[in-house]
Amino acid sequence: MSPTPASVIRGVGSCLPDRTVTNADLVTAGLNTTDDWIRTRTGIAARRRVRPGTSTGDLATRAAKAALATTTVRPQLLILATTTPDHPCPATAPQVASRLGLTDIPAFDLAAVCSGFVYALAAADSWIRSGAADSALVIGAETYSTIVDPADRNTAILFGDGAGAVVLSRGLREEPGAILAVDLGSDGRGADHVMIEAGGSRHPTTPNTLTPYDSSARFLHMKGREVYGQAVRRMTASARRTLARLDWPPDSVGAFVGHQANQRILDAVADRLGIAPAHRHGNIHDVGNTAAASIPLALADVVARGAVRPGTRTLLTAFGGGLTWGSAALTWPDPAPLAPKEPLMTTTEPAVYDHLVHLLETKFDVSEPTPDATYTSLGLDSLAVVELFVTLSDHWSITLDDTEADPELTVGATADLVERARDERG
């Protein structure tokens, strides 16, 4: 009897913005809460947020590069799970593929909110097992800081930005990293539990069509109590169905990674499944809820620490707006380790930002520029900003678009532009 084919995870990578926002930072910014209140109710101590000018596509590209660095597989398909695309149209995935040098492959966005990565993993698994593709790159990437109201205590304390990615190729079910079973579901009756009301075809974001809706309609709103109950029930049921398809007893699962939404939810699901605390893995304490990016970010974190032995029975489960939910059973992957000192979770390299600051201080006589400072606030006119762009282009051997040399651009956003140009240069 011939071995059974499967899609197998060959590479794992991630990217987190370099800006950390702690609970204390939120309180200082005026949010009506406390560090103890947030920790007790969510398990979150900090989250990462992008600087102005950094997009979901930027994070996705960096995470994908980190994943591709751990394997020799060249993807024939790219799926980007996200709720925060760079633009409503076109999809962000083809641009990410292009920046990776993958200009000839199918690439598309997938929107299933916090369940997005599991949905995308299931889709890629189907493509590979059907023979439609031999390999795939699956990315979960989000910049929720762009859609969360900073004054809304229900959401501002939860969400962070980041991206995680996995590379899959055709292999055997007996290999470490093999996807063995998936379970997906949805219930549109709960669509209003997690929703951005404006911005779609029903309520376009124009001054006339927003009336009688207020400006908060462009932000994410969540019914926390309803989401909690649905998340616990749906993830538990989905996980049980997935385990049953493989005849895996819950106590045989050696690695459990749930969507990093809320530590209470994660514990409630794991307790109901009967999975021991020692086998539960996550990073919500440090990065918060990163929606579709949360599971691949947690996977990359555990892989980087070598905390799970390759081949270990693994269960993933997620719940998101829609309502959507899903689970996947696999064996823990065995990607090649990253090279020493490889920045697994970073966006702008410190060398880029540090060089920019040094240039501003020495060439343009700017005193202690900060990432959020605009060039107008630093006293630079439009010609000076163009000269800055030319100098940066010469130093890094890159091409910067002079049309983006806007005095209202921030220092942090400029560093991201340089990093993006360096990525595209290869």
Average pLDDT of adjacent 10-residue blocks, the chain of 426 residues:
81 93 92 91 93 92 94 96 94 94 94 96 97 97 93 90 97 95 95 82 69 68 84 94 96 95 92 94 94 96 92 96 95 71 42 80 85 88 85 82 85 84 71
H or E element at residue 1:
none
| Backbone φ/ψ region at 412: left (φ over 0), alpha (ψ -120 to 50), beta | alpha
Active-site residues: which are they?
114, 259, 289
Q: For the CA atoms of 184, 111, 227, 259, what is the dihedral angle to 10 degrees? A: 70
The predicted structure's pLDDT at residue 2: 58
Token representation of residue 260? 């990093």
Question: What gap in Å lies between CA 295 and CA 115, rounded to an integer?
Answer: 9
DSSP assigned state of 289 = B
The predicted structure's pLDDT at residue 174: 93
153: Cα within 13 Å, side-chain hemisphere: 10
Q: Are 316 and 162 in contact (CB under 8 A)?
A: no
DSSP assigned state of 279 = G
Question: What gap in Å lies between CA 239 and CA 321, rounded to an integer?
Answer: 18
Q: Are 6 and 176 in contact (CB under 8 A)?
A: no
Question: What gap in Å lies between CA 121 and CA 76, rounded to an integer?
Answer: 14
Q: Are 93 and 109 in contact (CB under 8 A)?
A: yes
**3-state DSSP call for residue 168?**
strand
The predicted structure's pLDDT at residue 369: 86
H or E element at residue 371:
none
Question: What gap in Å lies between CA 113 and CA 195, rounded to an integer?
Answer: 10
Instruction: Tell me how far CA of residue 205 lies from CA of 191, 322, 407, in angstroms.
Output: 19, 21, 27
| Backbone φ/ψ region at 125: left (φ over 0), alpha (ψ -120 to 50), beta | alpha
Question: What gap in Å lies between CA 98 and CA 391, rounded to an integer?
Answer: 26
The predicted structure's pLDDT at residue 417: 86
The predicted structure's pLDDT at residue 338: 46
Buried b / exposed e over 299-327, threshold 16 CB at 10 Å, is bbbbbbeeebeebbbbbbbbbbbbbbbbb
The predicted structure's pLDDT at residue 208: 59
Instruction: Tell me how far CA of residue 222 lies from CA of 20, 194, 197, 225, 226, in angstroms.
Output: 23, 5, 11, 9, 9
Question: What gap in Å lies between CA 155 and CA 196, rounded to an integer?
Answer: 12
Radius of gyration in angstroms for the set of CA atoms belonging to the chain, rounded to a whole number: 22
The predicted structure's pLDDT at residue 353: 78
Q: Are 254 and 279 in contact (CB under 8 A)?
A: yes
DSSP 322-356: TTEEEEEEEEPP-PPPPPTT--SS-SS-HHHHHHH
**3-state DSSP call for residue 84?**
coil
Burial class (CB in 10 A: 0-12, 13-18, 19+), 35: middle
Residues 6+ apart with CB under 8 A from 365: none
Question: What gap in Å lies between CA 21 and CA 412, rounded to an integer?
Answer: 16
CA-closest candidate to residue 322, choices 225, 227, 203: 227
Question: What gap in Å lies between CA 356 and CA 361, rounded to an integer?
Answer: 9
Residues 6+ apart with CB under 8 A from 286: 45, 46
Question: What gap in Å lies between CA 336 and CA 63, rounded to an integer?
Answer: 15
The predicted structure's pLDDT at residue 21: 93
Q: How many CB atoms lie within 10 A of CB 298?
A: 23
The predicted structure's pLDDT at residue 345: 42
pLDDT tens column, 209-253: 555 555 677 888 888 788 888 899 999 999 999 999 999 999 999
The predicted structure's pLDDT at residue 425: 62
The predicted structure's pLDDT at residue 346: 45
* Chain length of the chain: 426
Tally DSSP H helices, then E strands, for the chain.
14, 13
CA-closest candidate to residue 331, choices 273, 248, 236, 241: 248
The predicted structure's pLDDT at residue 342: 38
The predicted structure's pLDDT at residue 1: 47
